[in-house]
Structure 1
């Protein structure tokens, strides 16, 4: 499946990133946005200090498999050496079924 950029969403993104300088509300909206971003940044900083970091290894097996399915075939062999759990998952029937379902298996 090829990914494409939806022009309507892209246009909205551009307008939100680059507001019209001739708009009278532009300066006040930029100032309000900067204030919101400042408060959000401080909130995230304090929140990150209280929560532990989530690592890829802490994900459940089904989510790891969903991630692994998207890895290119030529990189899978190196993932097997990361840890025993990853090796077990990469050699499991569930992984092969997911790859087959997403048409990511290649004939060799």
Structure 2
């Protein structure tokens, strides 16, 4: 999985987690354009997220002539596994930033 793919997954999970209190989640805020990826890649990432159990509430919408399935957000939300994955990756990213900061602060580290 490329970093771009992981970044998109984490951005979607973060947005869904932060939107849990909203009456209606505006999934257009994490669409392909907003995340800076093309439609095929975006929809394939959504497919992976569903297959891996990171999100629910997305419905497959096959489009004639398209080699990938598009998705419509019905009631998108992260799963507990998705939240756990988000938290683990957020903590790892923080640890890496702290380690880099220590390395820059302490010569020879």
Q: How does the TM-score come out when normalised to structure 1?
A: 0.27
Normalized per residue, the structure richer in strand is: 2
More helix by share: 1
The structure with higher relative contact order (CA 8 Å, sep 6+) is: 2
Larger CA Rg, structure 1 vs 2:
1
Give the alignment's TM-score, normalised by structure 2.
0.27
